[in-house]
Amino acid sequence: MNAPIARARRDTLGDMLRRVARVHRDREALVFGPRSWSFAALDAGADRMATHLLGLGLGPGDRVAAFGRNSDAYLLLWLGCLRAGLVHVPINYALTGGELAYIVEQSGARAVFAAAALAPALGALPPGTMLRPLDPDDPAGPVAIARDAAIPTPPDPPIDEDSLAQIVYTSGTTAAPKGAMMTHRAILAEYAAVLHHFDMSADDRGLAALPLYHTAQMHAITMPQLMAGARTVLIEAPEPATVLRLMEAERINSFFAPPTVWISLLRHPDFATRELGALRRIVYGASIMPGPVLAELAARLPQAGLYNAYGQTEIAPFATLLRPEEHAARPSSCGRPSYAVETRVVDTEMNDVASGVHGEIVHRSPYLLSGYWNKPEETAEAFRGGWFHSGDVGYFDDAGYLYIVDRIRDVINTGGVLVASREVEEVLFAHPAVSEVAVVGLPDPKWIEAVTAFVVLRAGETADGAVLIAHARGHLAPYKLPKQVVFVPELPRNTAGKLLKRELRRIHSPQENPA
């Protein structure tokens, strides 16, 4: 294909933003604190940010790391990278020390944009890596740059749909983090699927509270809503009182959060007093929603449709969805695959297992990662057999609905018998004294792994381990019962609200903590 034709047909994320801005020009696209951005202003800001980035000596394909909390500055940096043909590298703002340094160095980032409060955690940057400000009110930061009308339009970047747009690092639960390489083509294909399956439209009024460094908030919610011409109110973090206040004041009709955040909202006293009748779309995912919480959400917000999304970083991150009209019949399912995803459940030899039989979930999709950055062996392992291996255990029912059993690493081997931690958690969560629960296997000389439950009690409630085990005995086979129950004030989570079972294993393992 010759160059003029290729350019006329090009479809990158930066091109998408320009097209959307021309359709919705003066409509309000983004609100952050006192600032409001129209679609036209975001588009112009992306151009100015791109020109600034290229003026720093960066060129197409160079990696630019973002190390900060949610803000309009954070989003403007991302949009500027897209428009300049640079590769955005989001970094979890809670990271410190070796893992943070590893991502900066392994990605080969030529620039790190960091919030002032977080910058000291970076330490000494690798030679040739520049440090730039990311705070929304910094006079040299992205907001000021995006508002500077004197900055010219950038040159058209020499990129195409298969150029990298982002390298997103996995959480590194069992080894060093891996950078999932996401192309413009892959991310745009995922946005189109989200728009269709989540029923998004220009009439949406979204509240973005989860971290933008996480693919669920950025790529399954915020950017598809931008693509739809919708309005987004962006806040720094999902503090319950703030979320509930803004839901009422802004008449929010669409909100995404993992189960932990929904639980915190339901337990907050303001939930009963705020007017939340505008809410029409409840999206949840990132971890498994306990059945009792799902029932409570449906009862207390009956006008809102429930959307259960399942996926992971490597699939941009949307794979399957259980729609509102499907919840009543199958509340524990994560739905059926997106129109752009082919999903199987297989045994260790890559044979399909029968309905109801547990196996590993594998995917094919145009919006899968292109591989792990500079990790060819890990890439080959993840794509063995021509399918992407999710690391999740699940099964299909006879109607083709998918159910998640557990992460492969979270399945407990107790006395040579496998136990799904989720099954035990669901039973314990049904006890009225339990607010939150996590079940893991801890090393044990007799059982190999002892089923261990970590429990957070509801405010004002009391219970002991014997009571909870007796409750579980009426619902579980004896070998699935917890060998011990540990009461804790809170469960460890990352900044995206995802439960960190590895931390429970690390802290409470007898080998790690003999005392």
Question: Which pLDDT value is given to residue 515?
Answer: 32
CA dist 145 and 155 (Å) reads 17
In the prediction, which pLDDT does 423 show?
87
* pLDDT of amino acid 514: 35
Residue 344 neighbours by CB distance under 10 Å: 17
User: Whole-angstrom Cα distance, residue 443 to residue 433?
Assistant: 28
**How many Cα atoms occupy the beta-carbon half-sphere of 410 within 13 Å?**
27
List, by residue range, all CATH 3.40.50.12780 domains of the chain. Answer: 196-408
Identify any residues that bridge with 392 across adjacent strands, giving them in sequence order: 407
Type of residue found at 105: E
Q: Which residues, in sequence order, are CB contacts of 190 under 8 Å at separation 6+?
A: 219, 220, 315, 316, 317, 318, 340, 367
**Is the pLDDT reported for residue 491 higher than 70?**
yes
The boundaries of every CATH 3.30.300.30 domain in the chain are 411-508
pLDDT in tens, 72-128: 999 999 999 999 999 999 999 988 888 899 999 999 999 999 999 999 999 999 999
What digits encode the pLDDT tens for the residues 26-59? Answer: 999 999 999 999 999 999 999 999 999 999 999 9
> Closest by alpha carbon to 236, among 118, 140, 119, 315?
118
The pLDDT tens digits of the residues spanning 55-64 come to: 999 999 999 9
- 481 vs 463: CA distance, rounded Å: 17
Give the model confidence (pLDDT) of 423-432 as tens digits: 899 899 999 9
Structure tokens belonging to residue 321: 């969805």
Q: How far apart are CA 77 and CA 81, in angstroms?
A: 6
Reading the block at residue 498, the tokens are 């995802």
Beta strand extents in 462-509 (DSSP E only)? 484-487
- Name the strand (E) or helix (H) holding 407: strand 402-407
Mean pLDDT value of segment 13-25: 98
Comparing 236 with 94, the larger pLDDT belongs to 236
Q: Do the beta carbons of residue 56 and residue 113 sit within 8 Å?
A: no
pLDDT, one tens digit per residue, over 217-232 is 999 999 999 999 999 9
Quick one: pLDDT band at residue 511, thresholds 50, 70, 90?
low
pLDDT level of residue 512 (50, 70, 90 thresholds)? very low
Looking at the chain, the domain(s) classified CATH 3.40.50.980 span 3-16+41-149
Q: Which residues have CB under 8 Å from 246's CB, separation 6+?
A: 207, 233, 235, 252
Instruction: For domain 196-408, give the CATH superfamily.
Output: ANL, N-terminal domain (3.40.50.12780)
Instruction: Dump pLDDT digits (tens) for 168-214.
Output: 998 754 568 899 999 999 999 999 999 999 999 999 999 999 999 99
Concatenate the DSSP letters of all residues of 80-137 into one string: HHHHHT-EEEE--TT--HHHHHHHHHHHT-SEEEE-TTTGGGG-SPPTT-EEEE--TT
Phi-psi region of 18 (alpha: psi -120 to 50; beta: other; left: phi over 0): alpha
Three-class secondary structure assignment of 241-261: HHHHHHHHHCCCCEEEECHHH
Residue 321 to residues 226, 290, 475: CA-CA distances in angstroms?
Answer: 20, 17, 28
Please provide the DSSP assignment of 179-197 as one string: EEEEEHHHHHHHHHHHHHH
**Count of other CB atoms within 10 angstroms of residue 445:** 7
- 217 token code pair: 């908030």
The CATH fold assigned to 3-16+41-149 is Rossmann fold (3.40.50)
- Distance CA(438)–CA(423), nearest Å, equals 11
Q: Classify domain 411-508 at the CATH class level.
A: alpha beta
Give the distance between the most distant pair of CA atoms in the chain: 73
What is the structure's pLDDT at 240? 97
Burial class (CB in 10 A: 0-12, 13-18, 19+), 354: exposed
- Tallying the residues shown for the chain, one arrives at 515
Query: Which amino acid appears at position 234 of this protein?
Result: L
Write down the mean pLDDT value for the chain. 94
- Helix ranges (H only) for 358-419 are 376-382
> What would the mean pLDDT of 297-301 be, rounded to a whole number?
95
State the pLDDT confidence band at 12, using cuts at 50, 70 and 90: very high
- What the block records as the tokens of 80 is 């500027």
The reported pLDDT for the residue numbered 291 is 84
